Amino acid sequence: MTLATSTAPAPRALAGLLAVLLAVLTLLIPSSKAEAMKIQEVKSPGGITAWLVEERSVPLIAMRFAFEGGNAQDPNGKEGLANFLAGMLDEGAGELTSKEFQERMETIAMRMSFDDSRDAFYGSFETLTENRDKAVALLALALNKPRFDADAVERVRGQLLAGLAYAARDPDRVASEQWAAMAFSGHPYGRPASGTPASVQTIMRDDLAAFWSRTFARDNLRVVVVGDVDAATLAGLLDTLFAKLPAKATLTPVAQTQPKAAELVKVIDMAVPQSVARFGLPAMPRKDKDFMTAFVLNTIVGGGVMSSRLWEEVREKRGLAYSIHTSVQPYKQTSIFSGGVATKNEEIGQSLDLIRAELKRFAAEGPTDKELADAKSYLTGSFALRFDSNAKIANQLLWILQEELGLGYVDRRNSEVEAVTMADVKRVAKRLFEGKDLIVTIVGKPKGLAATPAKRS
Amino acid sequence: MSPGTRRLSLLLALPLMTFTQSLQTLSASPAASRVVEFKLANGLQVVVIPDHRAPVVTHYVWYRVGSADEPAGVSGIAHFLEHLMFKSTDKIASGDFSRIVSRLGGQDNAFTSHDLTAYYQRISKDRLPRVMEMEADRMVNLRLAEKEVLTEREVILEERRSRIENNPSSILGEQMLAALYQNHPYRIPIIGWMHEMAKLSREDAIAFYKRFYAPNNAIVVVAGDVTVEEVKALAEANYGKLKPNPDIKARVRPQEPPHRSPRRVELKDPRAGNASVRRYYLAPSVTNAEPGEAEALHLLMKVVGHSSTSRLYQKLVADEKIASSAGGWYSSSSLDSGTIGLYAVAAQGIGLDKVEAGFDRVLAEVREKGVTDDELERAKKAFIADFVYEADSQVRLAQRYGEGLLLGLPLERLNSWPAAIANVTADDIKRVANKHFDLRRSVTGTLIPVAPEAGSGVALKPASDKS
């Protein structure tokens, strides 16, 4: 193996035999018998780069990959196209019909699935070591030669339409979709990710093929592999899978945006006994200097732990909800602080008033020293829990790759959490919440919302 | 893990929780050979599953009590108590349990099923002693204040609204189980009936706690970066000092009489999506099945209903195009009875009677002709592979062994499951199909969308602007 610190391309002959390790990193979580995790950067002869963590104790290989360009790339009127494509990639490829493809997947116990987010198209692949080459060959077919047969397209369309019919009556789904529709009105982020019955009806074979051919490329690809494989072998597998894809993706630029409210509280009438609310505000992007502070702040306010401010106020003290949570979600072109709560129709107004009051109080006073210390202690202590299986390590590393946080992030992350000060949290609390009105959607038959604020002018 | 799933009910009737995903083992697996089981003098059963890949542990306590052990009239008390276990003891102030766990960098939660109640923490290995001390403490020292009980009761009522009342598909499932079981408490929802939940009291919770929570009614599972010796010492120090409850009795529940007639449940709801049909059959559980029977049923239902290569999907969805989705499952992971399930969503413009007739055609064919060698081979491979995949997750291993031992299966049986799967023949499958696809022991449920009644207004139009 060659260790190098430069990013200069490796000599062709050498690269043909050996993957070049551009960097090796050790995960500095305290370890007993557990070996420190080493991340290797592998570059294949065909120019595909991947992160690899070798883990030989379980005869499994897990791969995660992402093509930048998710459902925000759906053309107007073709909403739900990326989602449709995600359902088509195990429906036949190369010489194999849908049924043949899926039977072969079962025979070799290969796991493969695809998913779309706003900004990326995801693939997940797992195989037993003993079936590695067969499984990789099958995944390669799915990625490079999907068939999009007419009968499979129609069958999947039927499933998607049934799913939409169900989702249209699911208060959680409706609340989330309507929140995005309002906050990102006119922007791709505001469109329904799974489309509408009308848009899904218009999606044809050519649309699927077009999305596939402009999105599945080498320059927008990120790959992570964890498990029972060495770098040299992986290099060959990477080429089998990805080297024949087009060099460049053709993505439609997506504009930066900020959530904004046409109305502060939008009520969608549905005959359910419990109202489901989504609420949110603009937040800072991942690269903003305040992002980590916002992340710590969110843990105190409503994220992650069963002792957050909102958990205490809404659930523990008053029993107003089973679930109350918030998160900071950085998208590529926006960022939001958002949350959800569900309370019986008669008292949903009280839950929302409490949430508003608590955010206002937090903006004015910030957290207590103990709250901040506890949140940091939780976040740093629990980081290792994200790395206790091959599959979870792969998920984490893919995310780090996509966010361009760098190989060093795993080591750096806890010290970034520790560095957040009380002054930081107070400043960012004001930046997030002061003078801001929550954008709210409620699905149900809410009663007594009189206390909701008028929109600021 | 999202906060929305905290302290959740685990609904064993759902296909996601079938034993297909939690019980197969493979002798070649790195996991099976590592599992060690021992018992403390006070009757506490302990299982250790070393996995040294990361410096973290998963600590579980499984109690041999679930909603099917509830006295009549207090449905939901098992699950309610599970929530209340996060209140206080002499040493832990109210609500501090989870606060302390998270301050230690851990995550915790709990769940309840018809047959079990489980609590867990996932945490850095050096914090294991502390969470074990806390878990042992609340096994016998729980304290409940009237006010916090009443507040938490509001939380479980909201939980029921979220899980059941807001979702017609869940309402149908609840109605179907109530019809499938004519005598056994599996007919009562784990979360409880709303009218009984609304009256659950502090006294109900304490009586249930005192009756069922004791070291001789629990199994502790530790998976992760630990040795057997470490866990032995810790378990002795923390759980070993607790007194057993001499009144813990064998779990005898009212059993089903012979079933004589198929049942039907129809739910018309404006909130339903496309029309759909489901059917549940009574089936043996892993604990009362004849040797090899549960294994054969798992393989049968894998062929009949699992994934898009299955008989149901291929016939109803791919070939005949009368359904947009279809499948089936077998759940064996309960004490007194398992369930076989079938489901399908009708394709546009197709009546449910046609879809249901499709169920019957598929079942008749498998009863008559059995499964092909190719189908059987693929199904077996899938089970064995599932086992290897499971070895990647210490949480899933802890669940497999905790749940299996709780149901009374010996460790050897859990470890030899793949061999038992491998031994199933096509004849076995045909035999169990003929034995258990018996309509008299079934309930069929339909969920039918209807136009909203005047004034109920389910249409997705924005209401008046309230701002």
The domains located in chain B, with CATH, are: 3-238 (3.30.830.10), 263-449 (3.30.830.10)
What is the domain extent for residue A161?
A: 2-242
In a domain, A449, yes or no: no
In a domain, A455, yes or no: no
The pLDDT of residue A12: 32
**Does residue A90 register a pLDDT over 90?**
yes
- Which among B158, B348, B462 is the nearest to A266, CB-wise? B462
Q: Are strands B107-112 and B8-9 parallel, antiparallel or unpaired?
A: parallel
The pLDDT of residue A450: 60
Task: Find tokens 């040299």 and name the residue.
Answer: A232
**Does residue A2 register a pLDDT over 50?**
no
Q: Which residues of A touch B156 (CB under 8 A)?
A: 322
The pLDDT of residue B453: 59
In a domain, A247, yes or no: no
Neighbours of A450 (CB within 10 A): 7
Q: Residues A42, A171: one domain?
A: yes
pLDDT, tens digit, for every residue of B407-443?
999 999 998 888 999 999 999 999 999 999 999 999 9
Task: Find tokens 């970066």 and name the residue.
Answer: B225
> What letter does residue A32 receive in the DSSP assignment?
S
In a domain, A251, yes or no: no
Q: Residues A422, A336: one domain?
A: yes
- Do residues B467 and A264 touch, judged by C-beta distance below 8 A? yes
- State how far the Cα of B286 lies from the Cα of A416, in Å rounded to an integer: 50
In a domain, A456, yes or no: no
In a domain, A259, yes or no: no
3 state DSSP class of A127 = strand
Q: Residues A91, A204: one domain?
A: yes
In a domain, A222, yes or no: yes
CA angle B142, B147, B149 (to 5 degrees): 50
Residues of B with a known catalytic role: 82
**Does residue A61 register a pLDDT over 60?**
yes
3 state DSSP class of A133 = helix
Q: Judge: A30–B124 Cβ closer than 8 Å, yes or no.
A: yes
By the CB < 8 Å criterion, does A323 face chain B? yes
- State how far the Cα of A414 lies from the Cα of A380, in Å rounded to an integer: 5
> What letter does residue A325 receive in the DSSP assignment?
E
Question: Which residues, 6 or more positions from A390, have their beta carbon under 8 angstroms from its beta carbon?
Answer: A53, A55, A58, A60, A61, A62, A226, A227, B392
Q: Residues A314, A228: one domain?
A: no
| C-alpha distances out from residue A90 to A105, A112, A144, A330, B180, Å | 9, 8, 12, 30, 37
Please give the tally of structural domains in chain A: 2
The pLDDT of residue A307: 84
Q: How far is CA A450 from the centre of its chain?
A: 36
Q: Residue A61 sits in a domain of what CATH number?
A: 3.30.830.10
By the CB < 8 Å criterion, does A315 face chain B? yes
- State how far the Cα of A334 lies from the Cα of B313, in Å rounded to an integer: 41
Output the six-digit token pair for B402: 């905790």
The pLDDT of residue A13: 31
Neighbours of B145 (CB within 10 A): 12
**Does residue A25 register a pLDDT over 60?**
no
DSSP B243-257: PP-TT------PPPP
Task: Find tokens 């007919």 and name the residue.
Answer: B187
Flag residues of chain B having pLDDT under 70.
1-33, 453-467
- Do residues A260 and A336 touch, judged by C-beta distance below 8 A? no
> Hey, which residues 88-127 in chain A have their CB within 8 Å of chain B?
98-99, 102-103, 106-109, 111, 126
By the CB < 8 Å criterion, does B347 face chain A? yes
Query: Where a domain ends, among A186, A209, A242?
Result: A242
Q: Residues A57, A178: one domain?
A: yes
Closest residue in A to B306 (Cα) is: A106
Q: Judge: B272–A169 Cβ closer than 8 Å, yes or no.
A: yes
Q: Residues A238, A274: one domain?
A: no
By the CB < 8 Å criterion, does A2 face chain B? no
Neighbours of A149 (CB within 10 A): 15
Higher pLDDT, A20 or A378: A378
pLDDT, tens digit, for every residue of A353-403?
999 999 999 999 999 999 999 999 999 999 999 999 999 999 999 999 999
In a domain, A254, yes or no: no
Give the rounded percent of residues in chain A with a pLDDT score beyond 90: 87
Output phi, psi for A324, to 5 deg: -145, 120
By the CB < 8 Å criterion, does A456 face chain B? no
Neighbours of A412 (CB within 10 A): 13
Dihedral, CA atoms, B201, B203, B206, B212, nearest 10 degrees?
-90
Among A281, A352, A297, A300, smallest CA distance to A321 is for A352
Q: Residues A38, A116: one domain?
A: yes
By the CB < 8 Å criterion, does B385 face chain A? yes
Q: Which of B56, B99, B350, B372 to mutate to test the interface with A (most CBs of A within 10 A)?
A: B56
Q: Residues A68, A209: one domain?
A: yes
Among A230, A385, A91, smallest CA distance to B53 is for A385
**Does residue A306 register a pLDDT over 90?**
no
- State how far the Cα of B27 lies from the Cα of B419, in Å rounded to an integer: 8
Least trusted range by pLDDT, from A36-45, A277-286, A311-320: A36-45
What mean pLDDT is predicted for residues A183-190? 97
Output the six-digit token pair for A319: 């029993």
Q: Residues A336, A382: one domain?
A: yes
Closest residue in A to B385 (Cα) is: A109
- State how far the Cα of A277 lies from the Cα of A444, in Å rounded to an integer: 9
Q: Residues A281, A152: one domain?
A: no
Q: Residues A322, A362: one domain?
A: yes
- State how far the Cα of B317 lies from the Cα of A151, in Å rounded to an integer: 11
Q: Which of B162, B276, B343, B374 to mutate to test the interface with A (most CBs of A within 10 A)?
A: B162
Q: Residues A270, A138: one domain?
A: no
What is the identity of the amino acid at B319? Answer: D
DSSP A1-60: -EE-SS-PPPPHHHHHHS-EEEEEEE--S--SSSPPPEEEEEE-TTS-EEEEEE--SSSE
- State how far the Cα of A415 lies from the Cα of A215, in Å rounded to an integer: 36
Query: Where a domain ends, among A242, A277, A312?
Result: A242
The pLDDT of residue B34: 85
- Do residues A225 and A61 touch, judged by C-beta distance below 8 A? yes
